[in-house]
Amino acid sequence: MIKPLVIGNWKMNGSYAANDALLTRMLPVLSEKAKLQVALCPPFPYLSQVGQALSGSRVWLGAQTANPNPSGAHTGEVSVSMLRELGCEYVLVGHSERRQSYGESDEDVVARFTAIQSAGLTPVLCVGETLEQREAGETEAVVADQIKAVLAAGGIECFDGAVVAYEPVWAIGTGKTATPEQAQQVHAYIRSLLASQSESIAGRLPILYGGSVKANNARTLSNQADVNGALVGGASLDAAEFMNICQAFEPQQGRPDDQS
Ligand code: PEP
């Protein structure tokens, strides 16, 4: 049984005061959630503030990207060892906003993924198709290429302990969510692609869904067999929404996903 994981991606939002208010409302509730793994990815400048607030809680700290180089002349960038020093456990890699707006290629994604994993942190590999690609029937081919780029570099073993997030680009920040069936279909495809190399690694890989997850669609998404959690953007900035999303993914007593 895969422990559900819900990650809040704050993107480029926040301030000391706003973060404080959000954490003050959420942490007492999220800290109680033993059957669910929760992580928050604030912007770099707030990692220290959020990390301090999370210390002693059950909520993990994550970052939104990392530079693959260990140090040196990379103005404006942040290395994985710096993120580790700040207490990060998770690092997003290949988010579509970075692929589209900052030109991150599959090659860049692979380098980041490898550096994150080599530092002992958990890469959250984001994959997903654009609307044009979906309409052209290319969803599986696009997702397969993004995953195969990492497989080619690191082999199936590098997915052991990693996380994959399926995030259809057309659903991110648009208010359009993939239907639970669409999400399940792609998640099952990703798992089968990896299972063809190792059933055990594929079987324990958390595959998150991301793309306009809200409190009102989280439950039906969470009921899909291969949806093991969510990567939440906009709704993670609203304490009530995010807590309700977490609750929807929390295994319920008596449900097949209950681990108690
Ligand atoms: C994201 O940033 O990964 C995301 C899924 O955003 P949103 O939930 O706002 O669509």
Mutate to test the pocket of ligand 1, among 93, 209, 212 (most ligand atoms within 8 A of CB): 212
Residue nearest to atom 4 of ligand 1 (CA): 233
Per-residue pLDDT of the chain (260 residues; tens, 9 = 90+): 899 999 999 999 999 999 999 999 999 999 888 899 999 999 999 999 999 999 999 999 999 999 999 999 999 999 999 999 999 999 999 999 999 999 999 999 999 999 999 999 999 999 999 999 999 999 999 999 999 999 999 999 999 999 999 999 999 988 888 999 999 999 999 999 999 999 999 999 999 999 999 999 999 999 999 999 999 999 999 999 999 999 999 998 655 545 44
Ligand 1 centroid from CA 233, angstroms = 3
CA–centroid distance, 95 to ligand 1, in Å, is: 9
- CA distances, 235 to each of 11, 41, 200, 249 (Å): 11, 13, 33, 15
Which of 213, 216, 236, 241 has the most ligand 1 atoms within 8 A of CB, as the residue to mutate? 213
* DSSP assignments along 26-63, one per residue: HHHHHTT-TTSEEEEE--GGGHHHHHHHHTTSSEEEEE
3-state secondary structure of 198: coil
Expressed in angstroms and rounded, the spacing between residue 228 Cα and the centre of ligand 1 is 16
Its pTM stands at: 0.95
Report which DSSP code applies to 190.
H
